[in-house]
Amino acid sequence: MKKLFIFILILLPWFLSSLVPVDKEFYNSLVLPFFTPPSIFFGIAWSITYFLIAISIYSIFKTYNFKIKDIPNSYTRILLINYIANQSFQPVFFLLKSPFLGFVSSIATFITTLYLYEETSNIKEKSTKYLNMYVLLSLFATVLSVTIYILNAR
């Protein structure tokens, strides 16, 4: 039961940005590229991705017997930076209505995801498999974001 509680504590913060309301009028007013998936795609893909990220983090924590102070600072630092970059997209894109800042958030998420992948690999190679979807989805989100920004630049 304790392990489940720890896993849930790791998982839940990743869904924090989903509390930011999506301004559908703003989104629908944008020129979107032909490869934009249906809106439901994002909810499903990111939910699965967050679950896989949580498994990876849990695995790292377990490697260190859940002693956070023993986890390398380089891992915790990049995990925190990546988390902040990831969570910033919804507020900057939908609340500030800024495709440019959405792109900046996406590129920051993608770059820090690559570093997170590397740091995870240095600690426990097996845990990186749970981050593969994150790397691919953050790359796709970056390409989509830059395209939306370019198509809507005024």
Q: Which domains does the chain have, with CATH numbers?
A: 2-152 (1.20.1260.100)
Residue 92 per-residue DSSP state: I
Q: What are phi and psi of 67, to 5 degrees?
A: -95, 95
- pLDDT mean over 108-125: 98
Q: 154 pLDDT band (50/70/90 cuts)?
A: confident
Helices (H), 1-154: 2-11, 24-29, 39-63, 73-90, 99-123, 132-152
What pTM value is reported for the model?
0.94
| Per-residue pLDDT reduced to its tens digit, 67-84 | 999 999 999 999 999 999
